[in-house]
A and B are shown apart, each in its own frame.
Chain A
Amino acid sequence: MTHIHEDKHDDQFLVKRVLDGDTSAFSIIIRNTERLVTQIIFKMIATEEDRKDLAQEVYLKAFKNLKGFQFQSKLSTWIAQITYNACINHLRKKKLTLVDNDAWELDDTEILQSKEHSAWNEMESFILNKEMIRILQFEIEKLPSLYKTIITLYHNEELSYKEITEITGLPAGTLKNYLFRARKILRDRIALHYKKEPL
Chain B
Amino acid sequence: MSSPAPKSPEQNEKTKKYDRQLRLWGDHGQKLLENSKICLINATALGTEIVKSLVLPGIGSFTIVDGDKISEEDIGSNFFLEKESLNSSRAQIATQCLLELNPDVRGDYIDESVEHVISNTQNFFKNFDVVIATALPEKTLIQLSKHLWDIDVPLIVCRSVGFIGYIRLQVKEHTVIEAHPDSESPDLRLSTPWPTLKQYLDSINIEQLDQKEKSHVPPLAILHYYLNKYRNEHNGQIPQKREDKEILKQMIRDSGHSEEGNNRFVLEENFEQAIHYANSCITPRSIPEHVKVILDDDCCINLKQHSSPFWIMCAALREHVQAEGELPLKGTLPDMAADTMSYVTLQNIYRKQAEHHIESVYRRVQQIVRSLGLPQDYIAEDEVKYFCKHSSEIHVIRGSCVANEYHKANPDLTFDLEDPDSLIFYYVILRGLERFISEYNAYPGQLDDQVEPDILKLKAIIGKLLNEWGCSNILRDERVHEVCRYGGAELHSVSAILGGCAAQEVIKVITHQYKPLNNTYIYDTITSTSATFCL
Answer whether A and B are interacting partners: no
- The chain B residues found within 8 Å of chain A, CB to CB, are none
- The chain A residues found within 8 Å of chain B, CB to CB, are none
